[in-house]
Amino acid sequence: MEANGGARDGDVIRRMFGGIAPRYDLLNRLLSLARDRYWRREAVAQAQLPSGGVALDVCTGTADMALELAEQFPSARAIIGVDFCPPMIRIAAEKVARKGLTNRIRLQVGSAEALPFGADTFDAVTVAFGIRNLVDRKCGLAELCRVLHPGGVGIVLEFATPQGPLFGWLYRVYFHRGLPWLGGLISGDSQAYKYLPASVSAFPAPQELSRMMEEVGFHNVYFRTMTGGIVTLHVGRKLA
């Protein structure tokens, strides 16, 4: 993994996330001023999961999206979370067990670029703040589309760079200076929180990500920004 976030080494990223896993949730709340919960709620609301439906959360991390899916769609038959980082999955499993949801949420280790599921399996697929970290993003998007039922919805929530002159400048100062310092102070790994802003800066613009989704088979793709452009929510459907 390069310092500029442009080239991505899967093994390095896996070890990095494994190292910060114990404080990952705390840092998410602090560094986003708890806005990450709102972003996830808005993203999951787009899933429109039918009664008895099955959803997949890719790059599930500590299972926040999977838990949100379970909360918003109590009649779902099953929710599966997959992540390539075993320490994240272990923490996710503890959270799911504490909430008494082990009968509804299943977690497993797996790669977003080679999902261990058959084609046309899920009614909805979500990924929050994970596409950016993939070695082959287009492959990951293609996998999301492959495992969806025809007519199923794919949801991608990802960081972006605000464009407004004043807010954009203030955010960049915080994101590139304050966040690495605070994240490093709490997690003990400043390099991991230097990677975050570098990877966001190197990530394609929302219009480009929408185009990539269309190229791999999603239709009616649209996106909207939230919180002044800090994040973008992309939604598309697999052609029925």
User: Binding site for S-adenosyl-L-methionine: what residues are annotated?
Assistant: 62, 83
CATH number of 195's domain? 3.40.50.150
- Distance, CA of 208 to CA of 211 (rounded, Å): 5
User: Binding site: what residues are annotated?
Assistant: 62, 83
Q: Which residue has the tokens 């959270």?
A: 95
Within a domain: 117:
yes
Q: How many domains does the chain have?
A: 1
Within a domain: 1:
no
Render pLDDT for 49-80 as a digit per residue (tens, 0 to 9): 999 999 999 999 999 999 999 999 999 999 99
- Distance, CA of 69 to CA of 60 (rounded, Å): 12
Within a domain: 35:
yes
Domain of residue 92: give its range.
10-238
Render pLDDT for 172-220 as a digit per residue (tens, 0 to 9): 887 778 878 887 887 788 787 788 788 888 899 999 999 999 999 999 9
Within a domain: 30:
yes
Render pLDDT for 124-149 as a digit per residue (tens, 0 to 9): 999 999 999 999 999 999 999 999 99
pLDDT score of 163 more than 70:
yes
| Distances, alpha carbon 202 to alpha carbons 6, 40, 55, 195, 230, in Å | 6, 23, 30, 10, 14
Render pLDDT for 1-33 as a digit per residue (tens, 0 to 9): 333 344 457 898 999 899 989 888 987 887 787
Within a domain: 128:
yes
Within a domain: 4:
no
Token duo for residue 227? 């919180």
Within a domain: 110:
yes
Within a domain: 122:
yes
pTM, whole model, 2 decimals? 0.90
Q: What pLDDT shows up at residue 4?
A: 37
